[in-house]
Every structure is written in structure tokens, then in C-alpha cells.
Amino acid sequence: MALKHETQTDILLYINGEFTSASSGTTIKNMNPFTNEQINEVAEGQSEDINKAVAAAREAFDHGPWKTMKLTKRMAYIYRIADLIDEEVEKISYLESLDTGLPISQTRKMVSRASENFRFYARMVESRLIGDAYQVDDEFINYTINAPVGVAGLITPWNAPFMLETWKVAPALATGNTVVLKPAELSPLSANLLAEIIHKADLPKGVFNVVHGYGETAGDALVKHPDVQLISFTGETKTGSTIIKNSADTLKSCSMELGGKSPIIVFDDADFERALDACVWGIYSFNGERCTANSRLFVQEGIKDEFIAALKKRVANIKIGDPLDVATEVGPLIDKGHFTKVKGYLDIAKEEGTEVITADIPAEIAKGNFVAPTLILNAKNHMRVAQEEIFGPVLTVMTFKDEEEAIKLANDIKYGLAGYVWTNDIKRGHRVAHKVEAGMLWVNAQNVRDLRTPFGGSKSSGIGREGGHYGFEFYTEQKIIHVSITDHHIQQFGK
Ligand code: NAD
């Protein structure tokens, strides 16, 4: 049964503690991916609005109380945001599913962890504002401190909006920065709720700002703004590289969480059923719109027939439907444009000579952007369907003979975000995990993450790491302070 909640009517920008229309007065139509009907209108922020938001954030950073207030007081705000998120989990999950098409059983789990991002970083800041001290003979004592960087520009995608936004907002605020968030234009609802929550938490004006709008206008203005010190970006690889270029003139520090095409390697000796569960979940959960999805399966030749037969059976049984129905396992894709792109890959797969196993979409849900869970069989690693990020419920299946070939195939790609290895030979599990070129590897496990661990990719999948103390370090500037404790010798030019 589908759940019901009020939807928001008009989404405004949030600048300097107030909800406001865009300067231009223009709006973006926000569409429901399940019905392709309009949900509401969203204020379309552009460079003028970014300028206002950055000015507010700058003023709050330079002259407001945020970065200098007592730590206990600042962290009380952060814990308050976490508590308010907990109170709204049901509403956030509903809005997230309505807006993105992600099944509600999955958004609920994801959103219920979002408040932990705030608590985690509050605890980290409380415990990590420590530095090193250096004794330099009897002349100096030098020591390091961690200072906030300034105005943080945060740019997020639509595929797990609330989780990814809080993942960036929490460390940025807890470490004393001020923030301008530019959420994805296709998923504004939960970002607006985050603004409402932070407004309710009563943070000083200008500390947190949200400017909705398109990437090429609002996002671009944020990236180029001289008063923004850092950009934390999650999105496509191509966009990441544009942002790095555009931020070069103002020399920003950038964290880049980009695309992926991650391998799952299943050896003959793997725990068959667990590997199957993990493989199916890893590609079809979150509608396959998941950066760490195991979209390339390499299965060892000894079990390939059995494994593929089991996959076919499971994939045919996946329940697609209304994202607000708790029984739904795969919902509609984010929008018509993305739907067309994913469908296009099924045509490419056929042209490339593979076997495409997919299903028709039932007539009663045909208005939605549905692509049925799909298997691409008999693929070769050089094909586009094996090399390019499809970002939908599509698994490209390949086989391998031995460990050496598995590693070679897994690494023969531009991406390096995640990798999964299934084997009951634990030495081999470690060995393969060491050799697969990716930022994050799981051995005999699905994608389960502890907030303390680094998150991020190598190669074209990213630069830098989020999470844990890695996030703390990105959002703080380490300063070294040199203090003379004697009258050390100073050269006397011109005396
Ligand atoms: P996208 O790159 O199209 O957009 C992401 C954000 O960037 C949006 O807010 C967009 O408006 C903005 N943007 C676009 N062009 C811009 C520009 N020129 N300047 C500034 N901002 C700009 O990505 P998407 O389609 O929203 O998200 C899907 C992608 O995100 C996939 O490739 C996925 O793998 C990736 N992703 C990566 C991770 C990770 O942690 N590595 C996590 C989630 C998603």
C-alpha cells in the first residue's frame, strides 16, 4: 500500500536565514518519475542568487559567531539538526521516493542514517581538534591548529540526494565553515526539507544556504565565485572535470566523488547463494542508480552456467512498481532523459552482439520511467556496455578463467570506484582486493560502510576521500604556528 503525505507546493531558495524566490522570478518544473506529472515548481537560482548566498555565507563566516562560538554551543546546533532529522525520517523518505522514484523501503533505510552524519561529525570535531607540537632546540615551540576553511560550495546529485547532502553539510558545518548547497535540479524536495530543518534548528543567519537551479548556471557560478574556498562535488565524471577546470582561476580545493563501473568477481569456490544475493542487490537496489553499483559481473567459468541461470530466475522475480509501495524493489528512473539514455544502452548492447534479457513493463505503470531489471549476457570487456556507466538496473555479465584474467579484466577500464570479490580462499580474497584498482573493495560482502572509513574512488572515479577523518581534514585548514621562546638571532639588514 502506498503512503500519503502532503507534498510541498513551491520550493524556494534559502538565503541568509530566509526562504526567498529567485531573483529572476523563474522556476523549474519538478516532475514525478512514476507518473511524469508535475509535483511542483522550484525557484530557479542563477548567478545573482549565488552571489547573494555567497555574500551571506561570507559575512557569516567573517563576522558571525559561528566559527568562534564555544565548541559545545556549535555542536549543540549540530546535534539539534540530527534530532530534527530523526523526527522527520518518514516525511523525508516519502519526499525522496516521490521525487526520485527510489523505492521507499530503501529511502527509509538511507534517510534513517542521515542524522548519524551530523552526530558522527559532532563527535569527531569534539575529539579531533588536536594538533602536533614541535620543540625546536631551545628556541621555538611550533604547533598546529585546525581552522575552518571559509565558504564551502557543496554540489550534489539526484541519486541519493538527502544522504549525500548531509554527508557534506555535516562535516562542513561542524568544523566551522559556512555553506552554500546547490542540490541537483531533478531532486529538490528533500534538500528543501533540510533547509527547513536547519532553519528550525535556528543556526545563525547565513551559515547555511541553499540555491536550487541548473548546474550550468547556478552550479557554475558557485564554482567560479572568488569568495568560495572549496568545492565538494558528487556527480558524473565529465561534470567533475568541468568543475576542476572552472575552479582553477580561483584556486579552490576540490573533492571529487565521480562515476563508476565497478566489478564484482565471483570465483568458483564462492558461497554461491550469498554471492548471488549480493550481486543482485548491488546492481538492482536504488534502481541501479548507485555510484558503487556492481554493474560488471565477472563469474568464473566453472560456475557460470549455474550462476547465470540463478541470476535469470532472481531478476525475473524482482518487483517493479510504485516507489511509494513498500513492496516495490525497483522503481522508475529519475527522469525521461535518463530513461532514454538507459534504454539506449539496451539497443547498444544488441548492436554489440550481446544477449539482452529484460521484461516488458506492465501497462498500468507504463507512464513511469521504468526500465525492467536487465541482464546483458555474452558481453566482452571492450564493449561500450562493459566500459560506460549506464546508471540503471542493468548488469553486464562476463566470464573469466583464472585469477590473473579476472584482475586484468576488472582493471581494464577508466573507472576505479568500488570492487567486490567473492571467494572462500581468503588469501586470494585479499590478494585480488589489493590488485583491483579501486578506492573501495569488499571481500565476501555487499556494500556496507562504516562512517569512519574513507569513501572515494581512484582513476576517473574521483579525487580525494569523504567520510571519517578524511572529511574532517578536507573541511579544515591546518595551520602551523611558530613561537619564539628565546631571543633567537635575527639578521640585521641595513643597520
Ligand atoms: P551530474 O554531474 O549531472 O550533476 C551533479 C550535480 O552537478 C548537479 O547538482 C548538477 O546541477 C551539477 N552540475 C552540472 N553541471 C555543472 C557545472 N558545469 N558546474 C557546476 N555544477 C554542475 O550528476 P548526476 O546525473 O546528478 O548524478 C549521477 C552521477 O553521480 C553518476 O555518474 C554517479 O556515479 C555519480 N555519483 C558518484 C558518487 C560517488 O561517491 N563517487 C555518489 C553518487 C553519485
Q: Which residues pair with 356 in a beta bridge?
A: 376
Ligand 1 contacts (CB < 6 A) are 155-159, 182, 184-185, 214-216, 219-220, 223, 234-236, 239, 242-243, 257-260, 291, 389, 391, 417, 457, 461-462
Q: Is the pLDDT of residue 1 over 50?
A: no
**What integer pLDDT is reported at residue 87 of this predicted model?**
97
Q: Which of 350, 387, 357 is nearest to 374 (CA)?
A: 357
Q: Looking at the CA of residue 466, tell me the nearest atom of ligand 1.
A: 40
Which of the residues 165, 279, 291, 389 is marked catalytic? Answer: 291
Asked if 472 contacts 451 with a C-beta cutoff of 8 angstroms, the reply is no
Instruction: Specify the residue with its C-alpha closest to ligand 1, atom 12.
Output: 215
Dist CA 485 CA 477 (whole Å): 25
Confidence of residue 201 (pLDDT cuts 50, 70, 90): very high
Dist CA 253 CA 398 (whole Å): 39
Chain centre to alpha carbon of residue 34: 23
**What integer pLDDT is reported at residue 10 of this predicted model?**
86
| C-alpha angle 332-336-337 in degrees, rounded to nearest 5 | 125
- The model's pLDDT over 152-180, given as tens digits with 9 standing for 90+, comes to 999 999 999 999 999 999 999 999 999 99
- The model's pLDDT over 351-388, given as tens digits with 9 standing for 90+, comes to 999 999 999 999 999 999 999 999 999 999 999 999 99
Chain position carrying cell 576521500: 465
Pairing of strands 38-43, 140-148: unpaired
**What integer pLDDT is reported at residue 2 of this predicted model?**
47
Dist CA 108 CA 103 (whole Å): 9
**What integer pLDDT is reported at residue 7 of this predicted model?**
55
Cell of 116: 548519524
- The model's pLDDT over 71-125, given as tens digits with 9 standing for 90+, comes to 999 999 999 999 999 999 999 999 999 999 999 999 999 998 999 999 999 999 9
Please choose from 42, 47, 54, 155 the residue to mutate so as to test ligand 1's pocket, defined by most ligand atoms within 8 A of CB: 155
Please choose from 30, 47, 159, 186 the residue to mutate so as to test ligand 1's pocket, defined by most ligand atoms within 8 A of CB: 159
- The model's pLDDT over 273-332, given as tens digits with 9 standing for 90+, comes to 999 999 999 999 999 999 999 999 999 999 999 999 999 999 999 999 999 999 999 999
Q: Is the pLDDT of residue 3 over 70?
A: no
Q: Which of 299, 331, 273, 277 is nearest to 447 (CA)?
A: 277
Least-confidence region, from 3-7, 94-98, 269-273: 3-7
Q: Is the pLDDT of residue 6 over 60?
A: no
Mean local confidence (pLDDT), 183-192: 97
266 CA from centroid of ligand 1 (Å): 30
Respond yes or no: is residue 257 known to be catalytic: yes
Which of the residues 44, 96, 165, 257 is marked catalytic? Answer: 257
Mean local confidence (pLDDT), 435-461: 96
Respond yes or no: is residue 291 known to be catalytic: yes
The mean predicted confidence, pLDDT, of the chain is 96
